[in-house]
Amino acid sequence: MAKELWKGNEAIAEAAIKAGCKYFFGYPITPQNEIPEYMALKLPQEGGCFLQAESEVAAINMVYGAAGAGARVMTSSSSPGISLKQEGISYIAGAELPCVIVNIVRGGPGLGSIQPAQSDYFQATKGGGHGDYRMIVLAPASVQEAVDLVQEAFDIADQYRNPVMVMGDGMIGQMMEPVEFVEIPKRQLPEKDWATTGLRGRKEHNVINSLYIEASQCDKHNEDLFAKYAKMEETEIRCEEYNLEGAEIVFAAYGTVARIVKNAIKSLEKEGIKAGLIRPITLWPFPKANFLKAADMPNVKAFLSVEMSMGQMVEDVELSVKGKKPVYFYGKAGGAIPTPKAIVEEAKKILGGAK
């Protein structure tokens, strides 16, 4: 298939349908509205169901129900709406159900702004809802990558019986780029023999629940969950390493910011400064080993995390680097976007000080 121009949000919706998503429950919010709009038009044509719920809280609980019945289901929202969904996400993680949640992040806190931001990193990666749980968080940097990752997100969710979040910023949702829908690598997926689809000849009902009233049972449940999360950490980490060889400074950036950083790296190169980039594609599990390896490279003098937030991922970079090299931060918040020029200046300031 030839490349076609797609708007990010619409491409994400089409990718979900291509991945076999049959149910979408959501509530409108800028800048992700083209996702439900596209689903409302297309899902009924695919024999699926689109439903605009009365609220985000209702939408995520509809996702909970459909996931419990073994359906491929998705919801999408933007920051304030995702906050409302946190209780449901915790229940879904506790009940070990697969689903895909798309967050097209906008400026915060509160209602914030409608422009692109990355300030939901903590919420997504550290457990925005209550209790000890984790979910895989995928962060695409282009519309093409969004399309690939959304399709794979459904498989990852099914493989681990766990919610998966795809987190893009407003730019990913709103921009148009060439896209080619290609088949994603096939995974061996387990049967959904736990789904609540009726007895089907079984003697015992399947029960979907996140309540373990006995402390010892709830403790065991947490142990089991964390054995699963450990497996995710072992096998699902993804990141892009760019230009690390000989780099004096290594940037950490994800999503569209990583592309702005790449422009800055080219500008620095013209001035004779070698800079590299580590771009986490999974924000959780975080590519700690890649950062630690870079920290051990003698040419690397410092790390600079660039984010559309006041500094969130930078904490994971610091933890990964283990104090071996200094870690700095530069960011813009509330919908403002860092410019390549400002990033170049920040890098030069740091390297000047490190000499």
Q: Under the rule (CB under 8 A), what is the footprint of another protein?
A: 3-5, 30-31, 113-115, 170-171, 174-178, 256, 259-260, 262-263, 266, 335, 337, 339-341
CB of 170 to another protein, least distance (A): 7
On the CB side of 167, how many CA atoms lie within 13 Å of its CA?
29
Cβ-based nearer residue to another protein, 4 or 193 = 4
Q: Give CA–CA dist 297/292, Å, rounded.
A: 9
User: H or E stretch including 302?
Assistant: strand 302-307
CB of 110 to another protein, least distance (A): 16
Q: How are beta strands 239-242 and 163-169 bridged, if at all?
A: unpaired
Cβ-based nearer residue to another protein, 32 or 90 = 32
Are 105 and 171 in contact by the 8 Å Cβ rule? The answer is no
Cβ-based nearer residue to another protein, 292 or 337 = 337
Q: Mind spelling out the 3-state secondary structure of 56-83?
A: HHHHHHHHHHHHHCCCCEEEEECHHHHH
Q: Count of CB atoms within 10 A of residue 121's CB?
A: 26
Query: For the stretch 167-196, what's the b/e string if a residue is b when 16 or more beta carbons lie within 10 angstroms of its beta carbon?
Result: bbbbbbbbbebebebeebeeeeeeebebbe
CB of 117 to another protein, least distance (A): 13
Cβ-based nearer residue to another protein, 250 or 344 = 344
Record the tokens describing residue 268, joined without a space.
């620095």
Q: H-type helices in 163-287, by residue range? A: 170-174, 215-235, 256-270
Q: Count of CB atoms within 10 A of residue 105's CB?
A: 31
Cβ-based nearer residue to another protein, 21 or 265 = 265
Cβ-based nearer residue to another protein, 155 or 169 = 169
CB of 171 to another protein, least distance (A): 6
CB of 328 to another protein, least distance (A): 20
Provide the residue type at 291 as one letter.
F
Are 292 and 316 in contact by the 8 Å Cβ rule? The answer is no
Cβ-based nearer residue to another protein, 326 or 340 = 340
CB of 343 to another protein, least distance (A): 10
CB of 253 to another protein, least distance (A): 11
